[in-house]
Amino acid sequence: MWSKIVAFFMSIIAFFSSLFGIGTNKKNYREFLDASYGSGIQQKYDLYIPTDKGDTLGLILYIHGGAWTAGDKASYQPVIKEIASKHGYAAASINYRFLTQGVTMDEILADVNAAVAAICEKASNEGYSIEKMITTGMSAGAHLALMYAYHTPEDAKIQPVAVCSQCGPTDLSDPNYYADGMVFQNDYLQLVASIVGQDVTNEVIAQFTAQYSPVTYASTAVPTIIAHGQEDMIVPYSNAVSLDAALTANGVEHLFISYPHSGHALESDADCAAQYEEAFFAYAAEYLN
């Protein structure tokens, strides 16, 4: 199962490195690449800090996808460089340990928290204060971004002020993961067993998955952008619909951008991609400044 998951996600992850039209060459930033936030080989981050926006900055944190079993922060390096150089925010991308290494979801979320603390400390040591943060990512990275924003650890350096999700899993108990045509239909139960750290069956799956489903924490959610393809055969579109409904029921400000012709890579709706980019930077301007 793992080889199939890794192969699939590695085939689409490069798509997102060009999401915002990378291209500036002006070096008005400082870069800190492959910095450590722990002793593990994957506990690394990349950080870009703009040098012309003062010493108090907002941070945009990117978390890569790959079914919690693959992927690399490098896929977002051109994006975070562009964020710092062109848009004036501190921007970082992180690696984290994988489920395939015997790591639990709790430990992956702890990696996110440790990375945030290290990024804030690094910025402080360089003379910059990071006071606000937006988390974002795609697929499994979006799931981690949502979980961290909605259920932030008590010892976190920063409580995210907003979160932006691209095709992120929001309800791990959704029966549509098993629907005909879904890529991981036959492997999903094994994947969930790895997430919750124990064997589960179809009958009791909801009991264990609620803890790791962002929709569970909608009552403590922050402003959210949801982007999801209606033709997604990896994370069912119904996940996005469920989160939209839960946020609405809890009165949480959010925007749901539905891509009618796109799959998991959000590849076939240019107008929706433009809407997402505009909304993303509108959120950054509103919540990070």
Which pLDDT value is given to residue 6? 55
- Asked whether residue 17 carries a pLDDT value surpassing 50, the answer given is no
With b meaning 16 or more CB within 10 Å and e meaning fewer, what string describes 66-80? bbbbbbebbbbbbbb
Burial (CB < 10 A; 0-12, 13-18, 19+), residue 274, is exposed
66: left (phi over 0), alpha (psi -120 to 50) or beta: left
Q: Which residues contact 11 (CB under 8 A, 6 or more apart)?
A: none
188 confidence band (pLDDT: 50, 70, 90): confident
For 58, counting Cβ atoms within 10 Å of its Cβ (0-12 exposed, 13-18 middle, 19+ buried), the class is: buried
Burial 89-124 (b: 16+ CB within 10 A, else e): bbbbbbbbbbbbeebbbeebbbbbbbbbbbbbebbe
Task: State CA 177 to chain mean position distance.
Answer: 20
Q: Cβ distance 142 to 168 under 8 Å?
A: yes
Tell me the pLDDT tens digit for each residue of 63-114: 999 999 999 999 999 999 999 999 999 999 999 999 988 899 999 999 999 9
Q: What is the pLDDT of residue 185?
A: 80
Say which residue the tokens 């002793």 belong to: 39
- For residue 191, what pLDDT is reported? 75
Name the pTM for this structure.
Answer: 0.89
Query: What mean pLDDT comes out for the span 235-246?
Result: 98
Which CATH entry fits the domain spanning 2-288: 3.40.50.1820, 3.40.50.800, 3.30.70.3270, 3.10.110.10? Answer: 3.40.50.1820
Residue % of the chain over a pLDDT of 90: 77
Which position has the higher pLDDT, 276 or 2?
276
Which two three-digit tokens encode residue 132?
């606000």
Q: Output the pLDDT for position 1.
A: 60
Q: Which residue has the higher pLDDT, 231 or 173?
A: 231
pLDDT at 213 over 70: yes
